[in-house]
């Protein structure tokens, strides 16, 4: 049994990496005519170099591949069957498809922010209607509203973080690793639809990073950031937020898991929101005032900034896994102190934005 699980895990991981790498290679080759309106329809990021914003398409391609591969391998298990367990996957599949199509439209036609917000709300509602719900309040309505807000925040947070080579992909990689190992520590190592889907998309992220780490050849684009944001929001609920409920521990434990695992994205988003509100600007308007940019203002180069976020993400995952080990051994109180990791990272990144302001 364990041998079969290991083979499936390795197969889906390698399959995700190869399919993403091949997809991105094809997209790069035909980027002048595929997925964009004209050859000049590219996204200009921090590097001021024009590159195709098609890399995130591979995330959705691999997600679809994983779903149908699971259907073929486990032909007696219909993942779209109308019961509670499989209804959740139906919700992820439907909401993920909508998020991807909305992002693809935004890459092509610059969708209005209000339309994007409506679609994000719709995705959150789909989660709730199909049984994916953050259950930390005794009041069901509060849980529903909080779940929808969570989906909106994460989809926008990862989209905002996609501002420099390799940053969002690396952050997502470590968040999904935290979700996967947390899920396995609670439920045991297995090859169910949740494990194989996470593993496949982790592979897709690795296949994408091959082309996105500085100096990058392509960007993620909104199609990628919206889908992967939705995907990460789903597994953040399933594996982190509700881990305390599954284990029967205090609800604040799930909050600690989230805060630690999402440290790079959370610290950046919180810093940007605080700084923009202090200046009387909208937090939703783009700009070169992210923590990544301020690290460059401090003297780091693009690759060094990536190494900083790589390090932050790595230790965030290590601490999240350690937190789960405490949880399954019913040692709860020490988990609280892991919140200080987020505090230290936030203080470092926020202080850097004050010390090295944006150059005019």
Q: Is the pLDDT of residue 111 over 50?
A: yes
CA distance 55 to 253: 35
- Percent of the chain past pLDDT 90, that is, above it, reads 69
pLDDT tens digits along 205-264: 999 999 999 888 888 889 999 999 999 999 999 999 999 887 677 788 999 999 999 999
The DSSP output letter for 333 is: G
More confident residue, 153 or 38: 153
Q: How is residue 277 written in tokens?
A: 């509100």
- 36 pLDDT more than 50: no
CA 164, CA 162: separation in Å to the nearest integer?
6
Report DSSP state, residue 359: P
With cut-offs at 50, 70 and 90, classify the pLDDT of residue 83: low
pTM over 0.75: yes
Element spanning 291, H or E: helix 291-297
- At 244 the pLDDT is 81
Using CA atoms, how far apart are residues 220 and 212, in angstroms rounded to an integer? 8
pLDDT at 52 over 80: no
| Strand pairing category for 43-44 and 50-51 | antiparallel
State CA 198 to chain mean position distance: 11
Q: What is the average per-residue pLDDT within 182-207?
A: 95
What local confidence, expressed as pLDDT, does residue 31 receive?
65
- CA distances 255 to 73, 138, 297, 332, 360, Å, are 36, 16, 33, 13, 38
Please give the Cα distance from 308 to 303 (Å, whole number): 9
Burial class (CB in 10 A: 0-12, 13-18, 19+), 348: middle
Contacts by 130-133, CB closer than 8 A, 24 or more apart: 130/87, 130/88, 130/90, 130/91, 130/92, 130/94, 131/84, 131/87, 131/88, 131/91, 132/88, 132/91, 132/92, 132/234, 132/237, 132/238, 133/237
Quick one: tokens of 47?
Answer: 């590097």
pLDDT of residue 84: 61
E-assigned strands of the chain? Answer: 43-44, 50-51
Rounded Cα distance between 340 and 38, Å, is 48
pLDDT above 80 (res 306): yes
Cβ–Cβ under 8 Å, residues 12 and 201: no
Residue 11 confidence (pLDDT) = 96
162-180: per-residue pLDDT in tens? 888 999 999 999 999 999 9
Domain ranges of the chain: 2-355
């Amino acid at each position: 049994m364990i041998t079969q699980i290991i083979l499936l895990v390795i197969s889906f991981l390698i399959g995700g990496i190869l399919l993403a790498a091949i997809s991105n290679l094809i997209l790069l080759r035909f980027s002048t005519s595929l997925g964009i309106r004209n050859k000049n329809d590219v996204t200009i990021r921090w590097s001021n170099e024009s590159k195709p914003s098609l890399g995130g398409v591979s995330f959705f391609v691999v997600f679809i591949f994983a779903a149908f591969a699971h259907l073929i391998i486990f032909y007696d298990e219909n993942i779209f069957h109308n019961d509670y367990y499989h209804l959740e996957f139906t919700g992820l599949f439907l909401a993920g498809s909508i998020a991807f199509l909305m992002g693809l439209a935004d890459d092509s036609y610059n969708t209005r922010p209000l339309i994007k917000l409506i679609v994000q709300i719709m995705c959150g509602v789909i989660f709730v209607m199909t049984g994916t719900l953050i259950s930390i309040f005794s009041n069901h309505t509060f849980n529903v509203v909080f779940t929808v807000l969570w989906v909106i925040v994460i989809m926008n947070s990862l989209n905002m973080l996609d501002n420099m080579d390799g940053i969002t992909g690396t952050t997502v990689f470590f968040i999904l690793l935290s979700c996967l190992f947390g899920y396995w520590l609670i439920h045991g190592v297995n090859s169910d639809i949740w494990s194989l889907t996470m593993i496949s998309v982790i592979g897709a992220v690795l296949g994408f990073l091959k082309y996105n780490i500085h100096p990058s050849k392509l960007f993620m684009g909104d199609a990628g950031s919206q889908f992967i944001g939705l995907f990460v929001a789903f597994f953040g609920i399933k594996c982190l937020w509700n881990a305390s409920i599954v284990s029967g521990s205090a609800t604040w434990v799930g909050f600690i898991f989230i805060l630690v695992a999402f440290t790079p994205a959370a610290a950046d988003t919180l810093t940007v929101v605080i700084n923009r509100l202090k200046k009387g600007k909208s937090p939703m308007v783009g700009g070169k005032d992210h923590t990544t940019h301020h690290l460059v203002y401090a003297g780091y180069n693009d690759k060094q900034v990536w190494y900083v976020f790589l390090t932050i993400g790595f230790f965030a995952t290590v601490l999240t896994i350690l937190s789960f080990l405490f949880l399954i051994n019913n040692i709860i109180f020490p988990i609280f102190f892991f919140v200080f990791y987020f505090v230290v990272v936030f203080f470092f990144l926020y202080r850097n934005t004050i010390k090295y302001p944006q150059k005019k």
